[in-house]
A = this chain, B = another copy of it.
Amino acid sequence: MKQIQGGVTAPKGFEAAGTAANIKYKDRMDMALIYSCAPCRVAGTFTTNVVKAAPVLWDQEIVKNSPCAQAVIVNAGIANACTGKQGMDYCREEARTASGLLDISEDAVLVGSTGVIGMQLPMERINEGIRKLVAAKDSSVEAGTTASRAIMTTDTVNKEIAVTIELDGKTVTIGGMSKGSGMIHPNMCTMLAYITTDAAISRELLQEALSSSIVDTYNMISVDGDTSTNDTCLILANALAGNAEITEKGAAYDSFCEALDYVNTCLARKMAGDGEGATALFETTVVNAATKQEARILAKSVIGSSLCKAAIYGHDANFGRFLCALGYSGVKFDPEKVELFFESRAGKMLIYKDGAATDYSEEQATKILSEPEVTVLVDMKMGTETATAWGCDLTYDYVKINADYRS
């Protein structure tokens, strides 16, 4: 596997574009298009929130029943959630506009929205945006980057990645882009993540690869514990790489999954590190847990704790908060056996062992915790299972962004 430049336009046959449609923000891009010149198999995972945004319901239907997909239209600024029947009608109108301009069927068009909940989309501007996107689309690296920038809301950096693998002597590429900064606590899926690939792979295995990958990638991040109404992760596969179609599990499938996991892990980490107001990526790795599921629960409990997040922001080696968060996770364990380490580029330090603090240096601990990527490593001494979760610190700016978000 090799990481290459670019994002969603890296695989063969994919084009993209971004444009400013003036939906809610002024003077910035807020709509994106991903288009494949060949029909794609599509798989998706979506929010488990009972309150699902209209585009989530639309895309679920396409993923379930449409024979193929070829385009994704995404807008930022308004989430098209809690918008009733009108919101669904607007999804259909978006698809109709795009299908006419791209000469593809209406049920080949996926839609996505992110932004404020409860407002209706300004459809005149949306339709005009789609016209501009279709006119502007191309297959360059820059077009992919432009699309990834156009779906940002409170994100401060765009998020994209591309990798290649070799299958049957053919180069297969996977590209991806995502956005997500607040209301991030994906359950079954992430905020918005769009993955493209030119791999030939059956619809069933494409869905299985995606569903399996999200468990230890997007589902292991949290910014604020709020599971969104709009979480969507889609993967489109257009088969243009020319590999023998992957129709059963084996070496080719494993290789594809490994590359997909890498792409999703990278995008998930980027979302956590760019959490609203964040100054640091806050990683927690739990090793030697009794079961994989317990390892996941423990790691997520730590990165989700407001007090642990505030301690990371303050570069404060307040290790008791990390123990406390492990303790209320729901997993049973013996606190006397656990070992806790702080780790970053500045070093690694054992801070808690045998039920009490080690004789550690506060100065060295503060140094380790002052890096932009900080890891809390927890050794449960109960088994052999491992999991990693990613979050960010809790800062003044998180409060500022979210007290003012609509205004």
Contact = CB atoms under 8 A, between A and B. Distances in A.
A326 interface: yes
B50 A82 contact: no
B311 A403 contact: yes
A316 interface: yes
B328 A49 contact: yes
B226 A328 contact: yes
A126 to B, nearest CB: 18
Interface of A: 48-52, 79, 81-87, 116-119, 182-183, 185, 187, 224-229, 304-307, 310-311, 313-314, 316, 318-321, 323-329, 331-333, 335-336, 352, 354-357, 394-396, 398-400, 402-407
A318 B355 contact: no
Contacts of A52: 327
A306 B222 CA distance: 12
B51 A324 contact: yes
Given A117-B324, A226-B328, A399-B398, A356 B305 contact: no
B49 A327 contact: yes
A307 B354 contact: no
A238 B332 CA distance: 37
A403 B316 contact: yes
B305 A50 contact: no
Contacts of A406: 316, 318
Contact of A407 (B316, B327, B398, B404): B316
A350 to B, nearest CB: 14
Contacts of A51: 323-324, 326-327, 335
A395 B226 CA distance: 17
A52 B307 CA distance: 17
| Chain A facing B: main interface SS | loop
Integer count of this chain's copies in the complex: 2
A304 B226 CA distance: 9
A118 B357 contact: yes
Report the 3 A-B pairs with minimum CB-CB distance, sorted nearest first.
A117-B320, A314-B403, A51-B327
A352 B118 CA distance: 9
A319 B49 CA distance: 16
Given A50-B327, A117-B324, 9 more contacts: A51-B326, A51-B327, A83-B356, A117-B318, A225-B225, A311-B402, A311-B405, A314-B403, A316-B405
A212 to B, nearest CB: 22
A84 to B, nearest CB: 4
Contacts of A404: 314, 316
A82 B318 CA distance: 12
Contacts of A119: 357
21 contacts: A49-B328, A50-B326, A51-B323, A51-B335, A82-B320, A82-B335, A82-B355, A82-B356, A84-B355, A116-B318, A117-B320, A117-B321, A117-B324, A118-B318, A119-B357, A182-B307, A183-B324, A187-B328, A226-B321, A226-B325, A318-B406
B229 A324 contact: yes
A333 B50 contact: yes
Contacts of A352: 82, 118
Nearest to A224: B306
